[in-house]
Structure 1
């Protein structure tokens, strides 16, 4: 694809801009900022990957994967409840495990090789899926603790510990985090052709080989999503309680409820 063709394709953004202006949707600024950020970030990423591919040093490769995990963890902070603390480290642990275990598995089985052009894209997908799942889990935890505050306190008053009293909230939060991934997987091959498979086919890879690689990605990113959401949720719910097994930030929760 030529740069000119890419620039002309970018003109398609004029349509949502015009619609936003006429309908007073007030999204023009956000759209422009998001587009500019995407262009700048992807160009920088392209140069970084070009450097990493040429150097081909394992420690640089692992460092880049670590940067992906750190960045994904950092982007979950804004989604957490104000009563939560150490959000970054909770997310980091969850995403690190969610990325490291599936990635190690596919390398050991020979599904992918320890090469930049294979490891980095897969690690990026795993980190991104883990981040999205954790964001959904955090949002649902915050919402459900407000919604179910009275029921949780009633269970605590009857002698239940925090885990038992908030079991439904934990379960709903994990489910909320992973359902979009499961629903997306259900439509592969019927409603949509996954991005990884599309890229491989456009790049000249045989369709059946592209399918194999895409299925591998489905297996590991589903695993990473569930693991990340599960770990983050179980490390987070206790922060809504104090050492005496009482809900903390009750006034804050009340304000949100109102």
Structure 2
């Protein structure tokens, strides 16, 4: 069991990478044939991921050798600031979408990592803090993007009702309150569905990685459970915060487009 990971990675070769690229090429061909419009995004995303992961490998290797706690904090902050850029794109049309994303993700990451540090689930080392922090930030970023996108869509669909409530004297937050639950629930669907199906439909990445590295399956799934509960809590916190912050600004944008 403990030799599983070396055996697997010893068989990795350029031919394996070529095969994976071939699979991606078949997806691109299907998109081009059916005119789905995602082929360009597939190729660009794959190329970008290759470059980014290569750079990340060198950066993490350097970071882990420094043993400087403040560098870990700087690295996590930079990740949060970069995540805000994706939120700004998905939340186009909502004023301050970038800072709303940064603030909500930063809050969720701070609360979750602080609790995990105090509870002893992670340690103040790069090998422990950065991967867990990256998972929290990445999952929160995706959920906040969904939330901002859904919020904008709901306002577009219900604009007449919301403007009527404002005309009758309701405040912006009061008018938007009916949308909070709808947006938060829809944004949490992927996270909650993953939590429901884990272990029954799919084996998550952490479990698979630890088993491949030689860890006992029971210990691997125990760690996976902790991580998934942690991610669910942090995603819920980030989405709820983002919706509360964004709602009145999004409604202001809607009013401006009316005239």
Q: Which residue of 2 aligns with 1:250?
A: 257
| TM-score (norm: length of structure 2) | 0.88
CA distance in 2, matches of 1:20, 1:179: 26
- In the TM superposition, what is the alpha-carbon distance from 1:24 to its structure 2 partner? 4.2
Q: Provide the rounded CA distance (Å) in 2 between the counterparts of 1:97 and 1:229.
A: 11
Gaps of 5+ in 1: 253-258
Q: Deviations over 1:56-94 (max 9, x none)?
A: 221111111111111111111011242x32222111110
Aligned residue for 1:190, secondary structure, equals: coil
Q: How does 1:43-58 map to 2 (within 5 A)?
A: 43-58=54-69
Q: Deviations over 1:91-122 (max 9, x none)?
A: 11100011111111111101121111111111
State the partner residue of 1:69: 80
Gaps of 5+ in 2: 1-8
Once the two structures are TM-superposed, the CA of residue 251 in structure 1 deviates from its matched residue by 2.5
**Deviation readout 1:225-252 (Å, 9 max, x if unpaired):** 111111111111111355xxx9622327
Work out whether residues 240 and 249 of structure 1, in 8 Å CA contact, stay in contact via their aligned partners in 2. Answer: no
In the alignment, the residues of structure 1 paired with residue 23 and residue 30 of structure 2 have an alpha-carbon distance, to the nearest angstrom, of 12
Alignment of 1:13-162 (within 5 A): 13-82=24-93, 84-162=94-172
Give the Cα separation in 2 of the matches to 1:68 and 1:81.
20
- Using the alignment, how far apart are the partners of 2:208 and 2:216 within structure 1? 11
Root-mean-square deviation (CA, aligned residues, Å) is: 1.9
Q: TM-score, normalised by structure 1?
A: 0.89
Q: Which residue of 2 aligns with 1:240?
A: 250
Distance 2:113 2:167 in 1: 44
What is aligned with 2:186?
A: 176
User: What is the alpha-carbon distance in structure 2 between the residues aligned to residue 247 and residue 193 of structure 1?
Assistant: 43
Question: How far 1:20 sits from its partner (Å)?
Answer: 3.5
**TM superposition shift of 1:26:** 4.5
Quote how far apart the aligned CAs of 1:42 are: 0.5
**Structure 2: distance between partners of 1:141 and 1:63:** 31
> What SS does the corresponding residue of 1:192 show, helix, strand or coil?
coil
